[in-house]
Amino acid sequence: MTDIQTTASMRPATTQDVADILMDAASKGEPLVVRGNGTRAGLGNPVAALRVLELGGLDQIDFYDPDDLVIRAGVGATLDNIEQVLAQKGQYLPFEPPRYAGLYGTDGARCTLGGAVSTALSGPRRILTGAVRDFVLGVEGVNGQGDVFKAGGRTMKNVTGYDISKLVTGANGTLAALTTLTIKVLPAPRAEVTLVLPAATLEEDVALFARIRALPLGVGGLARRVSPTGACEVLVRVEGTVPGVAGNQQVLGGLLATRGSMEVLEQQASQALWAGVRELDCLNARPDDLVWRVNLPATTMPAFVAQARKAGCINRFFVDWAGGVVFSTMRGVQPEVDTLRYRKMAEQAGARATLLRAPDAVRAQFGAFPPVSAGVAALAARTRTAFDPAGILNPGRMTVQA
Amino acid sequence: MQMPEPSQAIISQRDALAQGLRQIVGKDWVISDDAQRRPYQCDGITAYMAMPLLVVLPGSAAEVQAVLRFCNDRGVKIVPRGSGTSLSGGALPLEDGVLLVTSRLCNVLAVDERNRVARVQPGVPNIKISEAVSHLGLCYMPDPSSQLISTIGGNVAENAGGVHCLKYGVTANHILGMQAVLMTGEMLELGGAYLGAAEGELDLMGVLTGSEGLLAVVTEIAVRLEPVPEVARVISMSFASVEEACACVGAIIGVGVIPAGLEFMDRKVLDAVSVLIKEKFDDRTAALLLCELDGTAVEVDALVGVVSDVARGQGAIELKVSTTEEERQRIWSSRKLAFSAIGKLCPDYYCTDGTIPRNKLPEVLNKMADMSKKYGLDYANCFHAGDGNLHPIIMYDASKPGDLEKAEEFGADVLIACVDAGGVLSGEHGIGVEKRDLMTHQFTEIDLQQQQMVKCAFDPKDLLNPGKMFPTLCRCAEFGRMHVHNGNLRFADIPRF
């Protein structure tokens, strides 16, 4: 599950090298696969290109200023490295970036910061702290003409010029080969506990999530899954100061009392549990399963899941973001047919269905990402041209040619 | 302030254009006579004025579409405007442009309590969103000081911040979806009414937010709603020196606390305020920090303890902690009254908003003192310390020849010092016309060109709010054809305005 047979890869170590490579490629109109270390090459559509521009060598940390809650690093810096550096000062990446190494059969230790920003994958804490896009303060990159540009800055507040940092986040390398990222970080919560309780129906669980979220209790994780022992359970993560968490746990205890027995996981146990949720472990996806992510309003989720299960489009599934996202496996004998049906179903429910993992041929034909309206697609295409007029940066990674 | 040369050909068609626009929005909603156009001559920056060609107030998204299409077809420029509270001249009219005012699009269309989203029209004043959902224990978090008047559409255009954005983020972090109309009249739906609705395609909503009305006109917005924090308490901390107060800002954040708000006031501001609130501040106080902490009662009590310890460790000479909501309001009143109090000290003042890394606060504040001597103008400091967002208040007298120019130069020097310290020209007010010509200090020609290429993707004729944000007009046709590599400026010789 990689990009279409590539013959050569280039691994520059400086921004100037990246610029030289792209200027050369632009002059020849030669498309390139742009990636970090390629650990998530299976996300997005396969790119037809003979050469790979691998940015994993740009792995320096330029500065880290804990008092200013900001770190600047090369796109190739690994998430493990960044998180370790931040942890030494009691800080973290609030968007809880998933690696999906298990999903793609790659080495999670090689997942890069640039990959996290380019794919814009956000973890379970998104409901409380926000998405990747909310923490990218500034970028430096090279556009499809080989021009080095920067945008944004290093301050929390900045309205100087267009927010190009947001535009390149989640652009999957189709606008620019990013080289340096400036990221807002936050103090990690001092305490966390997870309350584990028996699940009820999806409708009841979503209603419970809504009741919990209506209270300002610092709940940074609300999921529903099948546990390793086969029990269907609801997970509630509470974070904050030590006394704050204790107090909030009490309030939640009252709210959840009717659910019966409740297990409480402290600190490390809680962290390990959510790392598994973040990595979609509880899907237990088989190597040949298709894996889907569907974003939708939490209130429409139960009916959508019921319909999709009935139609055989969902095999295993679990729910995160307080009901706002469904991860599922598909085990159809005819993935093409099921892919179309599932996506249609999602569209009718006002949801967005992303194919996180599928054979190249399926992604190439149907697109990993759900279609957008013709007007939005046209504006996105014009925007890509504004950065990459020759169309050499990951062409077709996000869009399927009609 | 130099603006693009108005087109006499367009101005000469004023009556015909007014007639055409009346057919779209109804006769009452096109303003063409001098007396009624006059209030629209400026926004929050009164130093810059221009009489708009016409003022149009559409009553629906469909009318916005039709107005834009009509103007696009005739090559007529559009300046979008909400309530006109911009502090950077973003809504400054053009003499050959139609001012499109969103005041009539002022409805909260839907509140989805369980998914915690509200859909609103762009002309809704910020505060009205929170008012519409307060009975549910919810609110819309971003709270620019102008929130009683400024509209959500304007907030989106400027990516507005506010006192509480240190903890809760700015406008962009609270927008889930929007309906936007391009200059051609084409309507687009971006994102939706849930988290992740915009994923899987370029973040066009992200770049529209904060684009100062240069890319599209937003006609509907889906905003996130948050539960109102159970308790908020404020600590007032006095310091004998500005340096100690600045150091305390970093120390609070360094210890792992993100306050809901963290504001700085210098002695000049305190003296001005004490006249209004009839309360004396300790004579030794050179600077005051207000630190608001919110959350559950238990959480806040713990944080109050942590912050108080930090402040004492940093040499605070006096700490006052609010114990009731009334006390909290009273402590905050000094900050809320700061600008009007300064207004009583001088005939005019000018306020700008460069933003710097927090640890550069003392350095930049010292430079400001030097600049004050250089220009012979007094100043005061009252700003969002927690996020390094400076708001120097430069005092001048517009009736004195040359004073305004001196104040503007002083302000520009402050912004340049901010950029040199690793910061940016604007934290929340926007570039508009006010900071436009300083953009080349923060960005290279290539950086700016890349931004203007984005403008070309949205508005290739450069009809939406031209003359703002960039020191040169877009040249979309040339961008497409020419390319000069690193170091060689592409349009080194084109006129700037």
Query: Cα angle at B280 between B274 and B284, to 5 degrees?
Result: 110
Question: Where does A134-258 have alpha helices with state H?
Answer: 164-168, 202-213, 242-256
Residue B494 has a pLDDT of 53
Q: How far apart are CA B130 and CA B142, in angstroms?
A: 10
B450 closest CB neighbour out of A143, A163, A217: A143
Is the CA virtual torsion B382, B385, B391, B392 positive or negative? positive
Instruction: Write out pLDDT tens, residues B344-354.
Output: 889 999 998 99
Q: Which domains does chain A have, with CATH numbers?
A: 1-188+371-402 (3.30.465.10), 191-278 (3.30.70.260), 281-366 (3.30.70.240)
Q: How far apart are CA A195 and CA A245, in angstroms?
A: 12
Residue B26 has a pLDDT of 98
Q: Do A247 and B170 touch (CB under 8 A)?
A: no
Model confidence at A1: pLDDT above 90: no
Which residues in chain A touch residue B480, judged by CB atoms under 8 angstroms apart? 389
Residue B94 has a pLDDT of 98
Question: Where does A171-266 have alpha helices with state H?
Answer: 202-213, 242-256
Tokens representing A362 are 């399926």
* Strands of A32-35's sheet in order across: A8-10, A51-54, A32-35
Instruction: Write out pLDDT tens, residues A256-278.
Output: 988 888 999 999 999 999 999 99
Model confidence at B490: pLDDT above 80: no
B158 closest CB neighbour out of A159, A297, A299: A159
Which residues in chain B touch residue A321, judged by CB atoms under 8 angstroms apart? 195-196
Q: Do B207 and A149 touch (CB under 8 A)?
A: no
Say what percent of chain A tops pLDDT 70. Answer: 98
Which residues in chain B touch residue A304, judged by CB atoms under 8 angstroms apart? none
Per-residue buried b or exposed e for A202-224, using 16+ beta carbons within 10 Å of the residue's own CB: beebbbbbbebbbbbbbbbbbbb
Say what percent of chain B tops pLDDT 90. Answer: 88
Mutate to test the interface with A, among B179, B209, B447, B450 (most CBs of A within 10 A): B450
How many CB atoms are closer than 10 A to CB B65? 20
Mean pLDDT on B56-85: 98
Residue B496 has a pLDDT of 52
Per-residue buried b or exposed e for B3-16, using 16+ beta carbons within 10 Å of the residue's own CB: bbeebeebeebeee
**CA distances (Å), B461 to each of A269, A288, B324, B456, B492, in order?**
58, 50, 56, 8, 22
Q: How far apart are CA B419 and CA B440, in angstroms?
A: 11
**pLDDT-derived band at B46, boundaries 50, 70, 90:** confident
Q: Which domains does chain B have, with CATH numbers?
A: 8-101 (3.30.43.10), 108-227 (3.30.465.10), 231-340 (3.30.70.2190), 346-437 (3.30.70.2740)
How are beta strands A317-320 and A263-266 bridged, if at all?
unpaired
Q: Are A26 and A392 in contact (CB under 8 A)?
A: yes
Is the CA virtual torsion B437, B438, B439, B440 positive or negative? positive
The distance in angstroms from the start CA to the end CA of chain B is 8
B172 closest CB neighbour out of A65, A163, A190: A163
Q: Do A352 and B196 touch (CB under 8 A)?
A: yes
Q: Are A38 and A118 in contact (CB under 8 A)?
A: no
Residue B479 has a pLDDT of 63
Model confidence at A333: pLDDT above 90: no
**pLDDT-derived band at B485, boundaries 50, 70, 90:** very low
Which residues in chain B touch residue A158, judged by CB atoms under 8 angstroms apart? 355, 424, 426-427
Mutate to test the interface with B, among A62, A137, A159 (most CBs of B within 10 A): A159
> Taking CB atoms and an 8 Å cut-off, how many pairs form between chains A and B?
292
Instruction: Write out pLDDT tens, residues B416-465.
Output: 999 999 999 999 999 999 999 999 999 999 999 999 999 999 999 999 99
Q: Do A159 and B430 touch (CB under 8 A)?
A: yes
User: What are the residues facing B292 on neighbouring strands?
Assistant: B234, B261
Which residues in chain B touch residue A247, judged by CB atoms under 8 angstroms apart? 296-299
Q: Are A165 and A138 in contact (CB under 8 A)?
A: yes
Model confidence at A149: pLDDT above 90: yes
Residue A6 has a pLDDT of 58
Residue B343 has a pLDDT of 87
- Give the residue carrying structure tokens 């919810």: B138
Say what percent of chain A tops pLDDT 90. Answer: 91
Q: Do B194 and A298 touch (CB under 8 A)?
A: yes
How many CB atoms are closer than 10 A to CB B110? 11
Mean pLDDT on B213-236: 97
Please name the amino acid found at residue B464: L
Q: Are A343 and A353 in contact (CB under 8 A)?
A: yes
The distance in angstroms from the start CA to the end CA of chain A is 23
Which residues in chain A touch residue B158, judged by CB atoms under 8 angstroms apart? 159
Q: Are A182 and A139 in contact (CB under 8 A)?
A: yes
Mean per-residue pLDDT over chain A, rounded: 95
**CA distances (Å), A57 to each of A18, A35, A36, A126, A360, in order?**
11, 11, 8, 29, 27
How are beta strands B318-321 and B226-227 bridged, if at all?
unpaired
Residue A7 has a pLDDT of 65
Instruction: Write out pLDDT tens, residues A35-64.
Output: 999 999 999 999 999 999 999 999 999 999
Q: Are B11 and B53 in contact (CB under 8 A)?
A: yes
| 3-class DSSP state of B382 | strand
Residue A55 has a pLDDT of 98
Q: Which H/E stretch holds residue A23?
A: helix A15-28
Which residue in B336, B260, B170 sits closest to A133, CA to CA?
Answer: B170
Model confidence at B493: pLDDT above 80: no
**pLDDT-derived band at A8, boundaries 50, 70, 90:** confident
Q: Do A380 and B202 touch (CB under 8 A)?
A: yes
**pLDDT-derived band at B487, boundaries 50, 70, 90:** very low
Mutate to test the interface with B, among A95, A143, A160 (most CBs of B within 10 A): A160
Tokens representing A206 are 């979503």
Instruction: Write out pLDDT tens, residues A347-359.
Output: 999 999 999 999 9
Mean pLDDT on B124-150: 95
CB-count burial class (<10 Å; 0-12, 13-18, 19+) for B246? buried
Residue B484 has a pLDDT of 45
- Give the residue carrying structure tokens 């934290």: B427
Q: Do B457 and A19 touch (CB under 8 A)?
A: no
How many CB atoms are closer than 10 A to CB A57? 18
Residue B90 has a pLDDT of 96
